[in-house]
Amino acid sequence: MMFGRIITFTIILLTETGMFCGAALATTLPPVKEYIELNHPLHENMTTYPGLSEVELYTRLERGKNGAIIDGIKLLGISGTYIDAPFHADPHGKKISDYDLRQLVNLPVVIVRLPPGEKIFFSSAFQGKNVAGKAVLLMTGRDRLFGTEAYSDNPPYLSAEGAKWLAKNHAALVGIDSVLIDNYNDASSIPAHDILLKNNVVVAEDMTNIGSLMGKNAYLTAVPPRVPMASFPARIFAAVY
């Protein structure tokens, strides 16, 4: 049997006589039914973005008499499943380490499936959906090809006018299970990145397993280390209530 988590906190009051009194209150959070991984595991020599992938695992200090080992990793910020910060598109924008946790933790999930026969998410795909303060996940099914040459073969993406609609309607995060949220075949501009990041909307790319959230009351968390970078891998997951 699963029970909700009980959180206890104390309220301190100053009375007219100068005395303090405290009252302990408790609230029960709903139980988590399951946690669902929405990220690709990192491994050595993996390919995320063709031609711009670098993941190297190494040992800095071999195991000593105490049995401990010290190891490390060298990687690009766009390795595996990752999030972008405004600095990715704007030299004056904030970096990964500047994100407020409220932008990354426990975001209600809205899933938008790529319309049949389409390669682009236009604003029409979002009509009638309440996205304010939510993680909008663009489901293409392309994640099944991750790590293969076919993954970057004419992949789906978000249009500029679709990005404008999401920013205007105050989405908190927009993620996609494809190689880029922009048009991979046109490197001359990144309009979806520009629009979303400059409007303080978190961008997550190369997600996976989005379909497993369909029909569920899911909340997304996407927290990377506090690094002063434009992009960095995150163990993105969802808690289902």
pLDDT digits 0-9 by tens, 161-208:
999 999 999 999 999 999 999 999 998 999 999 999 999 999 999 999
The 10s digit of each residue's pLDDT in 121-138 is 999 999 999 999 999 999
What's the mean pLDDT in 75-80?
95
Instruction: Tell me if the pTM is above 0.75.
Output: yes
The whole-number pLDDT of residue 1 equals 44
The 10s digit of each residue's pLDDT in 90-120 is 999 999 999 999 999 999 999 999 988 899 9
**What is the share, in percent, of the chain residues with pLDDT greater than 70?**
88
Better-predicted residue by pLDDT, 64 or 4: 64
> For residue 9, what are the β-bridge partners?
25
pLDDT exceeds cutoff 70 at 23: no
Topology annotation, domain 34-45+77-240: Glucose Oxidase; domain 1 (3.50.30)
Domain locations in the chain as residue ranges: 34-45+77-240
Residue showing tokens 């993941």:
55
The whole-number pLDDT of residue 181 equals 98
The whole-number pLDDT of residue 24 equals 53
The 10s digit of each residue's pLDDT in 203-237 is 999 999 999 999 999 999 999 999 999 999 999 99
Reported confidence tier of residue 144, pLDDT bands at 50, 70, 90: very high
What's the mean pLDDT in 39-66?
91
